[in-house]
Amino acid sequence: MSTWNVDASHTTVSFVVKHMMVTKVRGTFSDIEGKIEGDPENFENAKVTFRVGVDSIDTKNEDRDNHLRSADFFDVENHPNMTFESKKIEKVGDNQYKLTGDLTIRGTTKETTFDVEYLGKGTNPWGVEVVGFEARATISRKEFGLTWNQALETGGVLVSDDVKIEIDLEANPA
């Protein structure tokens, strides 16, 4: 069985959440690490683990980032990491998979399924083989204890419950 490590410098973990019911806020995390154990071209037999350091959040607004780090949201002092550990991978089409596993945010673990596309394999300019994947999921932030919100005078809320998670991943042989 081969092992592939996530290349953090060529991987983006991001999220999108609706703001004020009319626009979207995007953010990224830079402290990431992960591992794929198995053959990326026979992905349904692989095991995937991932860790994101929540303190590395960046929404291009320092005040908002600090609020997201606080106990109102991620509570990074008590829950510094988000993690994912796969339980099942199902092939649903050519290079298309359903990746199901345990996602833990703020100490709460929920089974979550990502839609994954295997993008292929190549060799970088330094002769290292790399593989690429895209993964997408939508979660309810309230299910993970991220319940802070504010009602708007015009109706609705400041932050939507649904959060889209987007991962663009490159991995190298361990």
Domain count, the chain: 1
pLDDT on residue 32 = 97
Give the pTM.
0.89
pLDDT on residue 133 = 97
Mean pLDDT across the stretch 22-32? 87
Per-residue pLDDT for 105 more than 50?
yes
Per-residue pLDDT for 155 more than 70?
no
Per-residue pLDDT for 22 more than 70?
no
Mean pLDDT across the stretch 130-141? 93
Per-residue pLDDT for 157 more than 50?
no
Average pLDDT, the chain: 88
Counting beta carbons within 10 angstroms of the beta carbon of residue 84, is it exposed (0 to 12), middle (13 to 18) or buried (19 or more)?
buried
Q: Which of 21-25, 132-136, 147-151, 159-163 has the highest mean pLDDT?
A: 132-136
Run of H or E residues at 68: helix 62-69
Beta pairing partners, 48? 36
Can you give the residue range of the structural domain that contains 158?
A: 3-173
Run of H or E residues at 6: strand 3-6
pLDDT-wise least confident of 39-53, 90-104, 133-147: 133-147
Run of H or E residues at 58: strand 57-58
| Buried-exposed string 6-40: b where 16+ CB fall within 10 A, e elsewhere | bbbeebebebbbbbeeeeebebebeebebbbebeb
CATH number at residue 160: 2.40.128.110
pLDDT on residue 160 = 67
